[in-house]
Structure 1
Amino acid sequence: MQRASKSVLAFAVTLCSHFVFAPLAIADVLPPDVKAKAKGEVVWYDGSGGATTRARDEAIFKGFSAETGVTLRTDFSPDLTKFFAAMDSGAPIPWSFVEFATKSDFVRAREAGYLEKLDPSIVKVSDLGNGAYDDYGVDVMRYGIVFTYNTEKFSGEGAPKTVRDLYDLKKFPGKRCLFKYPQYGGVLESALIADGADRNKLYPLDLDRAFKKLDSIKSDVIWWSNGDDAIRLISSGECSMGIAWSGRVYSAVKNDKAPLAINWKDSLYAQAVYAVPKGAPNAAAGQALIAYNIGDLEGQKKLVRAITYATDIKALKLSDYGEGLGPWIVAGDNAADAIQEDADYYTKHISDVIDRFNRWVALN
């Protein structure tokens, strides 16, 4: 009996060693039939770059490549000019997935016939909240376009409280950092708010009034074209304040202890959109990448913890992302204090707005 017991014990230890120490298989995000359609390479049009792209790569895109074997290659551009120029030309395009940084850019592309319809056998839009998708794209990564200031320049009761303070050079001296593009940077909207415009009646934008107000700080503006540059300039104190994207500020504060703070009052918010361009060389893999973004719940949590841009996925709620993120996410009081950028306005007027903005910037 003693020998038998030792044998049984030895067998049990051997059995346990197999089960306890063997690596656990991670369940695939994509169904087998969708995964089978994802092959080759996807070149994707990246409208964000910087910290957002790094966070997205780490949280979601690496997992997609590992699961499917698809190679992802980014093509970064700070606006959609190159995309629309290529689509207008009718020449073959390299992209099979596109991130529109604004809803208005997406609508322009959709109305121009430049997008493929989402394949419902691949992309489960039913997993998204109402209004967070249409036949051609899905809304993703809701982000703040927020008033940001350097806490080594201003603090306590002496800190600025609203985007209006950008235009008060006497009380809050220093250079201002603004996006060198008239959309999703709050440049025109901040000028109107500072000039006393009703925040509930901002659109259509009164461009004459906006540029007149911008004239009052033009000589003190440092323009940025990349979100990382905005963070660097304000963190270093080269700019005492400015407008930046909320996730970029959060990432800098969290990872680099940057001396930055934000205020949602009269700031803006918007969301990006994922879609597949018409004539994409690998449309099936592009659609699968959109599906993966929706289905990878753990990846979405990781993304929000890194960059605070949340997507309206039914299975996720604010508490799923962890503690301490409430002040940084576009939701609740933050969304109420901020102003939603009017996508319809920019869809109809973006060409004229860009033209006038560029001419104004070029004037001494």
Structure 2
Amino acid sequence: MYTKKVYRAKDMAKWTRFETFLFLIIISVVVSLYFFLDLHWLKIPWTPLALIGTAVAFVIGFQNNSAYGRIWEARKIWGGVVNTSRTFGMFVQDMVTNEYCDDDFTEDDLNKEIKILTYRHIAWMVALRHSMRSPKPWETVMNERTNREWSKFIQPPERTSTLEIDLEPYISEKDMEYTLSKGNKQTALLYLQSHHLRKLKEKGLIWEFAFLQLEGVLEELFTLQGKSERIKNFPYPRHFATLNHYFMWVFVLLLPFALVPQFGEIGNEIAESFPLIGRHFVWLCIPFYVIVAWVFHTMERIGRTGENPFEGSANDVPISTIARGIEIDLRQNLGESHEEIPEQFPMVYDTQM
């Protein structure tokens, strides 16, 4: 546990190192002007700065709460995908039977139909996760240098493979052609599922009541898909995110002009008893400023990172891992061997994707 905590602290320091260096330069310049050029008039009162800082803190808190709410909602949606997928796999295996069929089908034929339905559902999850990982104009996390650095080591599998390649093992060429011809691939796959279930009902392989239950499961999948697409396609309001970013920088840039004179005054008081320490006491404000500026900036950046929970950053909902986990469950329950089933996506730096 200790090793992991130290490791994560190092990661955070590395993630914010460019901003930390910038804060160090800003405060060093202001302190140098104050100390070497004796610009003691270069200051602003604490009262307006305190009001700005309070406002920034409130807005950052609001942004972080909203961002966490979007992440938590996305996690609940994909938790619903897990449960509904398992239900669908169970229903398909138990409801596709010869019980209401005039001409009995062989066990191999029944298993073939069950496998087609199950694999098409896996294909739906593949299409959905690819859709969720597709870039949007308002997703800006990868515009930052350190995030691009992390993406070289931690990136979702959708960035290293295409939808067509990932769909190929699960659906027929005819289904592939139909799916790729549609704008919303995941919706097309659910339509194919419904059409297939109707044909099985007409053959007598699915009882009418069972057909209605399976259609109800597809309806729930449509609902979960729509909720997931809503989060993906509706960004966190830009006026909140953008203004908050600017307000934070206004506070960070003005803070030295109130902090440095304050430390200068304390140094003058100390100089009466300890002249050397008092004269150089103003330099002590450098670490304090860097800490305060780092906290405000990092909290604001964390909020921006969490605004889009499907963007593919290290802190997003691990939809690729979730989808692969469902696939493993479904294929194990089909009776497939360990060699036939793909392995779970590996964790990188203790991060699921």
TM surpasses 0.5: no
Higher helix share: 2
Structure with a larger share of its residues in strand: 1
TM range (shorter): under 0.3
Q: Which of the pair has more CA radius of gyration?
A: 2
Question: TM-score w.r.t. structure 1 length?
Answer: 0.24
